[in-house]
């Protein structure tokens, strides 16, 4: 059995190294595809996009105008509404006219003339005729096109004056880079590609699990290891560690699956609106924290660097040193790193996982979800949290367990 351990270790190390290379390539592609997909699905291009609302309102206006018909049933109501509106507006106009002309002598004269001739009264007498002319105008199919154009033009004019113009530079680059012609086609294609890469990642997880169980079984056996075998096992642990540091550990993904809104009786639906997305590896998080000016973030970054990079690497080096030089196992530094730190082996995993989850959900609460409060209570919203642990978390956890077992085996040797 002892003779087989070295070939097994070499075989596992070679296969694991090759798998790690494939994982790195696949994860790089998957992250690029996912980030492109998230960008195109961002709520700023959907629910919060004025251009999308222009298209929606155009369709609503076109449908409402096309379906509008003057019938015997609605003609009386329409007549009352139009005549009431005209009379109200004429009364307002008359009041304003007399108020504005009461400030000087010539104005008073004009008011007198208007009062004697009863010009506003004469106009009001024509309200029924004007009302019938408006109804005939609305009922004429030839005029519907002009009405639609007028209303749509007013909507565009109001939107352009009220809202900031949308920047599509990043959006268009993603579509062009991936060889698609429009946003819908790009989202569909990228989603299919993302699923393929996700399936590949699932296979890699199973392969890593197999290697983890194989090495774990060897470390739990009663067979004594040579210094070379400990070196090979340490290299295997190092690959798990590197994967845990480079590959994303956790993915924060919050989105609105579906939101239904009613506009003038017309249903409007938005689907798959991304509110917040964040996916970073441990090394990326450390780098970002060191780029900030805050002392608190620098301190947290230093702690994560210590627990997740320096401490594990030092432990592996000390384990190899202790195996090649058994007499040095009594050295205080070696003894501490190899034999006295087992209970701290999972601290880095907990620190990084909790911290990354905290900054992710904190971002959701502070930056995105507050916008939902502005939506009407009558709106139907179905949101979801697609956050998940990634391959980096499992690789790092595997390293932590194998590191503890390796320290235990060195002590037994």
Closest CA to 408 of 220, 212, 209: 220
- Which of 162, 188, 208 represents a domain boundary (last residue)? 162
Give per-residue pLDDT as tens, 187-244.
Answer: 999 999 999 999 999 999 999 999 999 999 988 888 888 888 888 888 999 999 999 8
Based on the fold, state whether residues 172 and 158 are members of the same structural domain.
no
288: left (phi over 0), alpha (psi -120 to 50) or beta: alpha
Based on the fold, state whether residues 267 and 313 are members of the same structural domain.
yes
Evaluated on CA atoms 157, 161, 376, 368, the torsion sign reads positive
Based on the fold, state whether residues 257 and 385 are members of the same structural domain.
yes
Q: Which domain holds residue 260?
A: 2-49+168-412
Tokens of 26: 């696949």
Q: How far apart are CA 109 and CA 98, in angstroms?
A: 11
Contact 256, 47 (CB under 8 A): yes
Based on the fold, state whether residues 43 and 126 are members of the same structural domain.
no
- Count of structural domains, the chain: 2
Contact 358, 203 (CB under 8 A): no
- Which of 162, 189, 207 represents a domain boundary (last residue)? 162
Q: How far apart are CA 113 and CA 97, in angstroms?
A: 12
Q: How far apart are CA 177 and CA 37, in angstroms?
A: 12
Eight-state DSSP code of residue 42 = B
Based on the fold, state whether residues 316 and 332 are members of the same structural domain.
yes
Residue 137 has what pLDDT?
80
Contact 401, 216 (CB under 8 A): yes
Based on the fold, state whether residues 334 and 387 are members of the same structural domain.
yes
Beta bridge pairs of residue 270: 259
Based on the fold, state whether residues 247 and 205 are members of the same structural domain.
yes
Cα–chain center distance at 116: 70
Torsion of CA 87, 93, 94, 97, to 10 degrees: -170
From residue 334, give the alpha-carbon distance in Å to each of 70, 328, 339, 398: 93, 7, 8, 23
Give per-residue pLDDT as tens, 320-343.
Answer: 777 777 666 666 666 666 666 655
Q: How far apart are CA 111 and CA 116, in angstroms?
A: 9
The beta-carbon contacts of 136-142 under 8 Å, at least 24 apart in sequence, are 138/68, 138/70, 138/78, 139/69, 139/70
Contact 9, 229 (CB under 8 A): yes
* Phi, psi of 261, rounded to the nearest 5 degrees: -130, 145
Closest CA to 23 of 339, 263, 247: 247
- Which of 162, 197, 225 represents a domain boundary (last residue)? 162
Give per-residue pLDDT as tens, 132-155.
Answer: 877 788 777 777 788 888 888 888
Based on the fold, state whether residues 70 and 99 are members of the same structural domain.
yes
**Tens-binned pLDDT, residue by residue, of the chain (413 aa):** 566 788 888 998 999 999 999 999 999 999 999 999 999 999 888 888 888 888 888 888 888 777 777 777 777 777 888 888 888 888 888 888 788 777 777 777 777 777 887 777 877 888 888 888 777 887 777 777 888 888 888 888 888 877 778 889 999 999 999 999 999 999 999 999 999 999 999 999 999 999 999 999 988 888 888 888 888 888 999 999 999 899 988 787 878 778 888 877 778 888 888 887 888 888 888 888 888 777 877 887 888 888 788 888 888 887 777 777 766 666 666 666 666 665 555 555 555 555 555 555 555 544 544 555 455 555 666 656 667 778 888 898 888 888 888 877 777 76
How many residues does the structure list for the chain? 413
Q: H/E element holding 380?
A: strand 380-385
Cα–chain center distance at 373: 18
Evaluated on CA atoms 106, 107, 110, 111, the torsion sign reads negative
Based on the fold, state whether residues 143 and 265 are members of the same structural domain.
no
Residue 409 has what pLDDT?
79
Based on the fold, state whether residues 198 and 265 are members of the same structural domain.
yes
Based on the fold, state whether residues 41 and 65 are members of the same structural domain.
no
Q: How far apart are CA 180 and CA 189, in angstroms?
A: 8
Based on the fold, state whether residues 253 and 335 are members of the same structural domain.
yes
Closest CA to 45 of 198, 166, 218, 204: 166
Strands 380-385 and 388-389: unpaired
């Amino acid at each position: 059995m002892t003779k087989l351990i070295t070939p097994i270790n070499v075989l596992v190390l070679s296969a694991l190294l090759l798998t790690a290379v494939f994982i790195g390539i696949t994860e790089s592609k998957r992250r690029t595809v996912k980030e492109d997909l998230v960008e195109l699905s961002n709520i700023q291009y959907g629910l919060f996009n004025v251009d999308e609302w222009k298209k929606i309102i155009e369709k609503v206006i076109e449908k409402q105008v096309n379906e509008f018909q003057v019938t015997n049933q609605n003609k009386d109501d329409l007549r009352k509404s139009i005549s009431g509106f005209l009379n109200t507006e004429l009364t307002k106009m008359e009041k304003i006219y007399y108020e504005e002309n009461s400030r000087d002598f010539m104005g008073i004269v004009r008011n007198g003339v208007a009062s004697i001739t009863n010009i506003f009264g004469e106009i009001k007498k024509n309200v029924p005729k004007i009302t019938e002319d408006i109804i005939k105008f609305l009922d004429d199919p030839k005029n519907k096109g002009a009405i639609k154009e007028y209303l749509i033009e007013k909507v565009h004019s109001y939107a352009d004056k009220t809202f900031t113009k949308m920047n599509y530079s990043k959006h268009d680059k993603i579509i062009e880079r991936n060889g698609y012609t429009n946003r819908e086609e790009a989202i569909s294609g990228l989603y299919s590609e993302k699923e393929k890469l996700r399936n590949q990642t699932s296979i890699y997880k199973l392969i890593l699990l197999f290697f983890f169980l194989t090495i774990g079984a060897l470390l739990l056996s009663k067979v004594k290891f040579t210094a070379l075998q400990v070196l090979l096992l340490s290299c295997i642990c190092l690959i798990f560690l590197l994967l845990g540091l480079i590959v994303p550990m956790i993915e924060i993904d919050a989105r609105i699956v579906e939101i239904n809104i009613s506009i003038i009786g017309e249903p409007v639906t938005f689907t798959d609106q991304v509110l917040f997305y964040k996916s970073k590896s441990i090394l990326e998080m450390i780098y970002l924290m060191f780029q900030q000016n805050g002392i608190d973030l620098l301190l947290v970054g230093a702690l994560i660097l210590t627990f997740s990079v320096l401490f594990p690497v030092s432990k592996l080096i000390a384990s190899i040193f202790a195996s090649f030089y058994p007499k040095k196992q009594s050295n205080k530094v070696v003894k501490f790193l190899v034999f006295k730190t087992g209970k701290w082996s999972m601290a880095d995993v907990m620190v990084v996982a909790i911290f990354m989850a905290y900054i992710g959900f904190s971002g959701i609460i502070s930056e995105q979800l507050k916008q939902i409060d502005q939506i009407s209570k009558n709106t139907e919203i179905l949101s979801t949290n697609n956050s998940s642990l990634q391959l980096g978390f499992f690789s790092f956890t595997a390293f932590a367990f194998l590191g503890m077992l390796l320290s235990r085996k060195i002590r037994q040797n």
